[in-house]
Structure 1
Amino acid sequence: MPEPAVFHRVIVRAPSEHTTSGARMITPPADAFDPLHLRITPIAQVQAGDTLIGTVSPHYDTLLNPLDRAQWVSYFSHTSKPQQQDARPFDPQHCHWCTHNAHVLGVGAGSGHWTVDGCTTYRPDSLLLVVPRDLATP
């Protein structure tokens, strides 16, 4: 019997230089990725060669109360490049940045958190906006 498909309700808007509150944001260049190739991927499933485009975060109101079950996308403001390694369980001993994140976030090895290239630390339930390696344009 096939495994059931997991669907994530996400609000994906085109990159914009301003938020709804009017704050200015740096966005990726218009030709940074093909929107048809984007996938929402759990952090644990990020693989070497995937290109991370942004994070998918809970949708909150101004008082930080969750709004239904929707999610919103925060695009990375830098030029994305393919990941060199698969996502890995968080290890605070990996490097100085990981040690810093462990201190600031209050998480440690075995916490369920994950890291990717650059040692960005993500919660266990994090979703990322990804161009999978098999869909990347050469």
Structure 2
Amino acid sequence: MPETLPFHRVIVSPVTDRGPLGARMITPPVDAFDPATVRVVPVSEVRAGDVLVGTVQPHYGPLLERLDRAEWVSYFSHTTKPQTTDARPFDPAHCDWCAHNAEIGAADRTHWTVGGCTTYRPDSLLLTVPREYVQEAGR
């Protein structure tokens, strides 16, 4: 039986410094990454060595239902570096910041964590340069 792979529909537009409603947006440096190496992956599939370059911001309908398309991409404004660990389920006992997020209801055990203590909803999509391409680039 063939394996089923999830496919995230993507329409790529040029990077712009204006969001869909005209708000100013952070753009990555021109040489931050090779656009041909970027993949859209669920947060749970981030692996040690992958480089995260941004988040895919979901689009919501008039009743605040999540639609099957992204509204825009939010690039990280800082220099990216390879992840030191695989993504993991959120653990409120990991550190004080994680305990705080759990206490205020910002995250629970259904959430996922990458890059130390950055927590995402379980259905979040991230722009990632897979570790295989990072190694090729000699980062």
Fold in common (TM above 0.5): yes
Q: Summarize the Cα distance change of 1:64–1:49 in structure 2 as closer, same or farther, 3 Å threshold.
A: farther
- Contact conserved, 1:46 with 1:87, CA < 8 A, in 2? yes
Alignment of 1:1-138 (within 5 A): 1-60=1-60, 65-66=64-65, 68-71=67-70, 72-108=72-108, 111-136=109-134, 137-138=137-138
Deviation at 1:118, TM superposition (A): 3.3
TM-score by length of 2: 0.85
Cα deviation code 1:70-97 (max 9, x no counterpart): 1132211211111011111100111122
SS of 2:123's equivalent in the other structure is: coil
Whether the 8 Å contact between 2:107 and 2:119 is mirrored in structure 1 is: no
Report the CA distance shift for 1:58/1:134 in structure 2 as closer, same or farther (over 3 A): same
8 A Cα contact 1:41 1:128, kept in partner:
yes
Change (3 A) 1:97 1:12: farther
Q: Distance in 2 between matches of 1:116 and 1:106?
A: 15
Distance 1:96 1:25 in 2: 30
Query: What is the TM-score normalised by the length of structure 1?
Result: 0.85
Question: RMSD in angstroms over aligned alpha carbons?
Answer: 2.0
How far 1:60 sits from its partner (Å)? 2.9
Specify the SS of the correspondent of 2:104.
helix
DSSP 3-state at the match of 1:41 = strand
Letter aligned with residue 123 of structure 1: R
| Structure 1: tracts of 5 or more residues without a match | none
Alpha-carbon distance in structure 2 between the residues aligned to 1:44 and 1:68: 20
- The alignment covers a number of residue pairs equal to 135
Q: Which runs of 5+ in 2 are unaligned?
A: none
